[in-house]
Amino acid sequence: MDETVMKVGITGSSGFVGHHLREALTAIPGVEVEGLEKGKHDLFRVESLRSFVCDKEVIYHLANLNRDTKENLLKVNVLGTLNLMEALAAYAPPLVTVIYLSSFQVYETPRTPIAIDEHWPIRPRNIYGISKMAAEAVIKSFPLRGIIFRGSNFFGPRCKPYYNSVIATFCDLLRQGKPLTVHGSGDQGRDFLYISDAVAVLCSALSYRPHGVEIYNLCSGALVTINSIIEMLSVISKRKHAVINQDAPGESVLSWWGDNSACRETFNWVPRITMEEGLQHTYAWWEREGDERP
């Protein structure tokens, strides 16, 4: 291995987080980045991953499905992770580090508003959360170094609307002059983190050497309500809009946010982009690029 170059691999490098992470890593001197190449590498064929992992010091595992059939969610998120770990154990350098992006959806939903830390009970409420919980267990079952980041709700340019981002959905609807649909009253709150702040931590993890597998919440540490997001976007977009409130399941109207103190301490990090600044950047991108969105 060339000691002057750190070779890094990314699965899911064409996705929302992967795209931003690849751009950031490529800009770091001495870092060589390779994305998992479809057609050449296949997460369902361990042997095909040999050339992808054999010379890497760090692998970011971001490839996953958020919404699909239950079978496909489990196949991609769990079996895909298992096969990657098998390939790392068989073909990667012995001191390789795998950095996995998990989700707050592995946690039990609090019944009252509270900050969730890494010791909060694990009790996913849907098949996606179950698949991320299982993928974490797979990673921890291998004698390799790893960092698991449990992400809250990342947002920013290129995030996919009508899929996994209420902010991207609102931006697209506002741009088209369509009404915004809110499940429940809109007074429920979540933890939202702008993409550049999330990527800053992922890049910091590049040089960190964990003891076994370590777990960190990757979140803003702040509670933001859906109604406040709508209010800020209304001012930013200068567009009139209607809001349609629909009945929602009980858990979707509960409020929670994350405790990011462990992440702040370990990676000497603080979120730098305020919610309003992040919404400004995101909406400006949608105005410029919305018609050409990926």
157 pLDDT above the threshold of 80: yes
Instruction: Name which of 180, 274, 195, 162 is nearest 227 in CA terms.
Output: 180
Q: What is the pLDDT averaged over residues 281-293?
A: 82
* Whole-number pLDDT of residue 251: 57
Collapsed DSSP state (helix, strand, coil) of residue 209 = coil
266 pLDDT above the threshold of 90: yes
Give CA separation, 114 vs 192, 221, 262, in Å: 15, 11, 17
Instruction: Name which of 179, 181, 171 is nearest 291 in CA terms.
Output: 171
Q: How does residue 123 score in pLDDT terms, banded at 50, 70 and 90?
A: very high
250 pLDDT above the threshold of 60: no
| pTM of the predicted model as reported, rounded to 2 decimal places | 0.94
Other beta carbons within 10 Å of 175: 16
Any idea what DSSP says for residue 239? Answer: -
> Sign of dihedral through CA atoms 249, 158, 70, 191?
negative
Amino acid letter at 256? W
268 pLDDT above the threshold of 90: yes
* Whole-number pLDDT of residue 176: 87
Angle between helices 275-289 and 226-237 (to 10 degrees): 50
| Burial bucket for residue 40 (CB in 10 Å: 0-12, 13-18, 19+) | exposed
Instruction: Name which of 217, 159, 209, 166 is nearest 18 in CA terms.
Output: 159
Q: What is the pLDDT averaged over residues 1-13?
A: 85
Share of the chain above pLDDT 90, in %: 79
Rounded Cα distance between 107 and 253, Å, is: 16
Rounded Cα distance between 242 and 36, Å, is: 42
Domain spans of the chain? 6-292
Q: What is the pLDDT averaged over residues 273-294?
A: 86
* Whole-number pLDDT of residue 248: 65
136 pLDDT above the threshold of 90: yes
51 pLDDT above the threshold of 60: yes
31 pLDDT above the threshold of 50: yes
pLDDT in tens, 55-100: 999 999 999 998 889 999 999 999 999 999 999 999 999 999 999 9
pLDDT in tens, 193-226: 999 999 999 999 999 999 999 999 999 999 999 9
HSE-CB of 251 using CA atoms within 13 angstroms: 9
* Whole-number pLDDT of residue 210: 97
* Whole-number pLDDT of residue 1: 45
Rounded Cα distance between 35 and 23, Å, is: 11
Q: How does residue 113 score in pLDDT terms, banded at 50, 70 and 90?
A: confident
6-292: in CATH 3.30.1020.10 = no
E strand spans, 68-185: 97-103, 115-116, 145-151, 153-155, 180-183
* Whole-number pLDDT of residue 239: 82
End-to-end CA distance of the chain: 36
Amino acid letter at 186? G
Q: How does residue 291 score in pLDDT terms, banded at 50, 70 and 90?
A: low
What tokens were used for 258?
């994350």
- Give per-residue burial for 100-132: e unless 16+ CB within 10 Å, then b: bbbbbbbbebbeeeebbebebeeebeebbbbbb
Lowest mean pLDDT segment, chosen from 208-222, 232-246, 260-274? 232-246
